Structure 1
Amino acid sequence: MDSRHPFRSTLAMPVFIPSLMLICGMLIWSIASPGTAEQFFGHAQQIITTQFGWFYTLAVAAFLIGLLGIAVSRFGDIKLGPDDAQPAFSLTSWLAMLFAAGMGIGLMYFGVAEPLQHYLSPPVSTATPAEAAQVALQTTFHHWGLHAWAIYGLVGLVLAYFGFRYQLPLTLRSGLYPLLGDRIHGPIGHAVDVFALVCTVFGIATTLGYGVLQLSAGLGDLTGWDTTSLPFQIGLIAVVMMLAGFSAATGLDKGVRRLSELNLMLAITLLLFVLCAGPTRHLLGAFSDNIGQYVSGMVTLTFRTFSYGGPDQQSWFGGWTLLYWAWWVSWSPFVGLFIARISRGRTIREFIVGVLIVPTLFNLLWMTVFGNSAIWLDMHQAAGSLTAAAGNVDALLFRLLDYLPFPNASSGIAILLIATFFITSADSGAMVVDSIASRGAPDSPIWQRLFWAALLGVTAAVLLATGGLKALQAMTLISALPFAAIMLLLGYGLLRGLQADRLHQRQPLAPATTFWTGQHWRMRLAQLLHQSSATEIQAFISDEVRPALLAVVAELAAGGVEASVIHEPDGKIQLRVQQQALRDFVYGVKCVANAVPAFVLSATNLPGDSQPLQYLPQTFFADGREGYDIRFLRRQEIIADVLKQYERYLSLLYREHGQLLSRAPSHS
């Protein structure tokens, strides 16, 4: 449509319409029969936790190991975009947006609650309260550390790589391009995007539900108002979503970036306040101890499923670790697409380190400061009142702040921080959902982002009104199971794409160009446009290669070096200089048949005589190096190539570090 039209749309209807129908159907079901919906999803959740916990565990482990492997490999040097691309955002702004989009509301909601609850009910037996506190923080670190950001990072890296390097739409379907090819533009691709969009909407709505409950509890604690009523909470959602819509309408560079930087500043302020006003020396020591326990127990934590434990431990595993993995997986389309959009121009290594390490360290510091403060205060000042209130998660952060100086001021900062996290989660979520629904189309109209922001608010309000948050938690676990399988496919597609990228980067010019001066260019072009047969290659070996090798042998003999030319029955030919106790020098040429890819055969603007097999004269050597095509070399150039390889062979003999392979026996 004309971009000047005020009501233009970039929505892809095969994605938009089914997604909207599924979302509306779920909301209608939650309103009409909330009990039935909760019962159904609860039963399905029980089946998944008992039957597929191993799959979640191994999949998340594969995500983390895969990302770390890519970061330390040569693939890490590849840029997310053209080789000359530059990052669109400064490092500080980029890290702030990563932090705000990923776990902001969750950190505020669970920063005090989760360590306290694990302290009261540790997943493994403990002998003392101090040991229980240590296990509680180690478990919390596991849920909010590297594994969580590996889930986000994998999806973000796949989409940023294929979106900016392969110039594909910035949607999930693009990550399956190495597996599906052009079929990503058809029904399979539509289905993948529909699934991602629905999961993203419900995943964000669940988090927004937590946010509004904590925000209303904080306002009630600070002002004394009755904030528990449903009309107040829905009104709070409406106000925050209007602000989120305004931020989304201003665009990524202005709205989200500025709010993200404000979030980071407020979060650091609140973090430093609790660190300084709380048991500072204990917290600093605990941070070091917590990191040590987390890192030393990484392997055990990664693969732990409590298969040898009792029903209580297995129930704990399903209600905590598996639910967290499912929550992060369900959020991964949202966070992955968001961080992909802001990461163009960075190298893969920089992306992985930034996404995996930096937010993780902040999360661990946050959980130490708030979690250890709550446990220490409960032991030494609160006389157990904080652990007694652990069931009231909505207000638990504010109960902690009551035991520190200036509780009203710190609670006010916390409320503002929750509100800004609420806004950034909603507006960045609206942008990402709009990107999925538009198949990555750039410059979508403002009304579409406002529509998605409104839909997120309505979804959160409906679920809050019908008590559907528990049912939605269960649905998160269910929907994340197939998407975890899709993520494994995305990871495999990424490896295939990186291998192809590396091949293109390392592909050298043909050896013939080393000696070519541009003479006889018409003959050279004619050879390029003609696909040789096996008979023609054998004739080339007999007419050009064999005389060249015989000429070299004659000169070697004149210099006192014995050499021979061996022409084998299968058409191979080789010049061999035999050595005693050393590997022989071999320069050989053979006829090789390579299958021509189907997409080349169907091309219309390539040399017209393409056949299913391409025949080439390829070199081979005694040390197992990969050979190369010499079909464009003339006789004198073949002689020069032989001498170049012989000179390389001699130079390696005189180098100490090359003696292992040089002394290896040669077998004829």
Structure 2
Amino acid sequence: MNNGKGSTPNRTVLYVSSVIILLFVIFGMFVPKEMGKVANAVFAFLTTDFGWLYLLAVAFFTVFVYGIAFSRFGQIKLGKDNDQPEFSNFQWFSMLFGGGMGIGLVFWSVAEPMMDYLAPPMGTAATPEAMRTAMRIVFFHWGIHPWVIFAICGLALAYFQFRKDLPFLVSSAFYPLIGDRIYGPIGKAIDILSVFATVFGVATSLGLGSSQIATGMQYIWGIKATPGTISIVIAVMTILFTLATISGLHKAMQIAANIKVWLSIAFMVFIFLFGGTVLILNNFTDSLGAYLQNFIGQTLWMGNIDWLKGWTVFYWAWWIAWAPFVGQFIARVSKGRTIRQFVLAVTLLPSGFSLIWLAIYGGAGFNLNKIANGAIQAAVKADYTTALFATLQQMPMYALTAPLAIILIVACFVAAADSATYVLAMLTSNGNMNPDKKLRSFWGIIQGAFTIILILVGGGTAALSVLQTVSIVAAFPFMLIMLAMSYSIYKVLHQEKLPG
């Protein structure tokens, strides 16, 4: 294998994907109701007839990735046999932990446990058992399964780039199946679908973040959170990010990343200390045990189809849509690691951090809700995007922590936009690991406009449902790609000559 044929830039993926996405934006601007109807019809079809496939696919990914890691193939390096890791263990672990902190984790950390508590998929709502069920479910959604999905894509990208010298593209993972045709129409189609999945998945996150910023401003300062307000937030953030990209202000991006990390740590410590330390620790211990005990059964559970459509199926589709994006990141920082090291670190470290985060935020939410006579659950019922601010309101220094929470969300927004546009630029420049700034800014503007259209189509909080819908629709073809990718990985690993 070599990357000779892929060394010449090919703009097919850029032109085709950008034109189709632009058409989608134009369609949404002029006939938003019709676009919403089409998206909802496709969503209903996929979740009703193929919800089971999302669950089975993720179950398969889990078995496959750990099977590879603990097999004799686990000793294979993601790179040449004499390659050494580019980063120390501490640096590598830190970057993997950083990959686990995003808009979604901030957005859902209080909202999801409380929503599942008030409307559980099983049992009676608003009971101690409903609280235990809610925490088990949120652990399930944010635990190992998302990172198994990311690990599949990251493993393929790292293996074929660093060990086989193929372009840093999703299509390269199919070389064992289609050979040099990865440079032709089939390969381009795979990369175009990767672009779609990334755009839709990231748009969901940007929509969540912008909605939380707008409702936070309403909750704190009374600035009404309308679809127009949310759109303005997205537009301002897009302009700032694009200007930083064009002018080469990499220090600004690094500052945003540092703010995100340190504010995240500060909030975790603050909420742990003032949100009910003992209850949080008890809740974490109990929820972790329930999560591990029900791991297999929950993975394949379909006891409440309607609930699954809005939660588990959405999450699995969202993670699949994020796979090219996060896979690129974890692949780039993992050169020189063995497959076993890669899989165990990628699936266990960030998920472990997420569980601690959720235990602190979710536990504090339940504890403070009880103390405040249901104030937090009342806020969630009115508008679940305010859950974090309603929780902070029950703790000391709210005048300080509430604005800082908005800064944290903004930092997560900027970091996600920066990383996503970088990956999109790579995917549309033949895997160039240092894509052109103009191309990055182009994708930044496209994503901003795309997210605004989805917000305006949905209108207010309902826009989040539209974002969830398009994520599920966009992720479906990429899920099929990932299943084929798994077979390709299995096939090429069997061609490796291993010692002994």
TM-score (norm 2): 0.92
> Equivalent residue for 1:328?
319
> Structure 1 residue 304 and structure 2 residue 298: aligned?
no
Q: Distance in 1 between matches of 2:255 and 2:169?
A: 25
1:19 corresponds to 2:36 = no
What pairs up with 1:47-62 in 2 under 5 angstroms?
47-62=45-60
Q: Give the distance between the partners of 1:485 and 1:243, measured in 2 at CA.
A: 36
Amino acid at match of 1:198: F
What are the residue-to-residue correspondences of 1:223-302 with 2, within 5 Å? 224-245=221-242, 248=245, 259-302=256-299
Which amino acid is 2:302 matched to?
A: T
Query: Which residue number corresponds to residue 497 of structure 1?
Result: 492
More deviation in 251-260 or 88-97?
251-260
- Counterparts of 1:475-514 in structure 2, within 5 Å, are 475-501=470-496, 503=497, 505-506=498-499
What is the deviation of 1:137? 0.4
Aligned mate of 1:372, from 358, 363, 377 = 363
Cα 1:252–1:294 change in 2 (3 A) is: farther
The letter of the residue matching 1:270 is: F
**464 and 499 in structure 1: CA distance in 2 versus 1, 3 angstrom threshold:** same
Whether 2:377 is the aligned partner of 1:387: answer yes
- Offset, 1:92: 4.4
Structure 2 CA distance, aligned partners of 1:262 and 1:73? 40
Q: Deviations over 1:396-451 (max 9, x none)?
A: 10000000111122222211111111011000001100110012124322211122
Give the residue type in structure 2 aligned to 1:458: A
Structure 2 counterpart SS, 1:81: coil
What SS does the corresponding residue of 1:440 show, helix, strand or coil? coil
Q: State the alpha-carbon separation in 1 of the partners of residues 291 and 263 from structure 2.
A: 27
Cα distance, 1:238 vs structure 2: 3.2
Q: How does 1:78-477 map to 2 (within 5 A)?
A: 78-102=76-100, 104-126=102-124, 129-222=127-220, 224-245=221-242, 248=245, 259-306=256-303, 313-379=304-370, 381-391=371-381, 392-467=383-458, 469-477=464-472
Q: Deviations over 1:187-219 (max 9, x none)?
A: 000111111112211221121011011112223
Task: State the distance in 1 between where 2:106 and 2:390 align.
Answer: 13
Cα distance change, pair 36–11 in 1 and its aligned pair in 2 (3 A): farther
Deviation, 1:272, is 0.9
**C-alpha distance in structure 1 between counterparts of 2:194 and 2:45, whole Å:** 23
Native 8 Å contact 2:40 2:469 kept in 1: yes
Take 1:442 and 1:323, find their aligned partners in 2: how far apart are those partners? 31
Which residue identity lines up with residue 304 of structure 1 in the other structure?
W
Higher RCO (CA < 8 A, seq sep 6+): 2
| CA distance in structure 2 between the aligned counterparts of 1:256 and 1:70, rounded to whole angstroms | 36
Deviation at 1:40, TM superposition (A): 1.6
CA distance in 1, matches of 2:98, 2:244: 14
Measure how far apart 1:472 and its partner are.
3.8
Letter in structure 2 aligned against 1:368: A
TM-fit CA distance, 1:127: 8.6
User: Equivalents in 2 of 1:256, 1:303: separation in Å?
Assistant: 40
Shift of the 345–251 alpha-carbon distance from structure 1 to 2, 3 Å rule, reads: farther
CA 1:131 to 1:476, structure 2 compared with 1: closer, same or farther past 3 Å?
same
Gaps of 5+ in 2: 1-6
- Could you tell which deviates more after superposition, 228-237 or 323-332? 228-237
Aligned with 1:226: secondary structure?
coil
Counterpart residue number, 1:528: none
Shift of 1:338: 2.2
Separation in 2, partners of 1:252, 1:329: 31
* Structure 1 pair 127–240 and aligned structure 2 pair: CA distance change class (3 A): closer
Deviations 1:432-491 (A, max 9, x none): 001100121243222111221222122222222332553342222122222111101111
- Residue 475 and residue 463 in structure 1: after superposition, are their counterparts in 2 closer, same or farther (change >3 A)? closer
Matched letter for residue 390 of structure 1: V
Q: Structure 1 counterpart of 2:194, which letter?
A: A
Residues 46, 34 of structure 1: alpha-carbon distance in 2 compared, 3 angstrom cutoff: same
AA aligned opposite 1:399: A
Q: Cα gap change, 1:268/1:371 in structure 2, threshold over 3 Å: closer, same or farther?
A: same
CA contact 1:178–1:493 (8 Å) conserved in 2: yes
Letter in 2 for 1:35: K
The one-letter amino acid paired with 2:64 is: G
CA 348–54 in structure 1, closer or farther in 2 if over 3 Å, else same: same
Q: Residues 53 and 238 of structure 1: is their aligned pair in 2 closer, same or farther, counting only changes over 3 Å?
A: closer
Q: CA, structure 1 residues 250+338, in 2 after alignment: closer, same or farther (shift >3 Å)?
A: farther
Equivalent residue number for residue 29 of structure 1: 27
- Superposition TM-score, scaled by structure 1 size: 0.70
In structure 2, the residue corresponding to 1:112 is in which secondary structure?
helix
SS of 2:373's partner is: coil
Quick one: distance in 2 between partners of 1:263 and 1:119? 29
Q: Deviations over 1:318-358 (max 9, x none)?
A: 11111111111111111112221222222222221221001
Residue 3 of structure 2 corresponds to: none
Equivalents in 2 of 1:409, 1:473: separation in Å? 32
Q: 1:338 is matched by which residue type in structure 2?
A: F
Q: What is the letter of the counterpart of residue 410 of structure 2?
A: A
> 1:69 maps to which residue?
67
Alpha-carbon distance, 1:10 to partner: 8.2
- Cα RMSD for the two superposed structures: 2.3
1:10 and 1:438 in contact (8 A); partners too: no
Distance 1:231 1:301, change over 3 A: closer
Q: What is the one-letter code of the residue matched to 1:388? A: A
Change (3 A) 1:251 1:137: farther
Aligned-partner residue type, residue 276 of structure 2: P
1:37–1:471 Cα contact (<8 Å) kept = no
SS in 1 for 2:164: coil
Q: 5+ unaligned residues in a row in structure 1: which ranges? A: 1-8, 307-312, 508-668
1:75-131 C-alpha deviation (Å, 9 max, x unpaired):
222221122323334444444444444551001111111000110111111498111
Letter aligned with residue 470 of structure 1: S
C-alpha distance in structure 1 between counterparts of 2:276 and 2:141, whole Å: 24
* Residue of structure 2 in register with 1:532 after alignment: none
Deviation of 1:269 (Å): 0.9
Change (3 A) 1:31 1:216: same
Residues in 1 aligned to 2:430 and 2:77: alpha-carbon distance in whole angstroms: 23
1:21-79: CA deviations, max 9, x gaps? 11011111111111111112212211222211221111101111111122222322222
Change (3 A) 1:335 1:48: same
Measured in 2, the distance between the counterparts of 1:249 and 1:124 equals 51
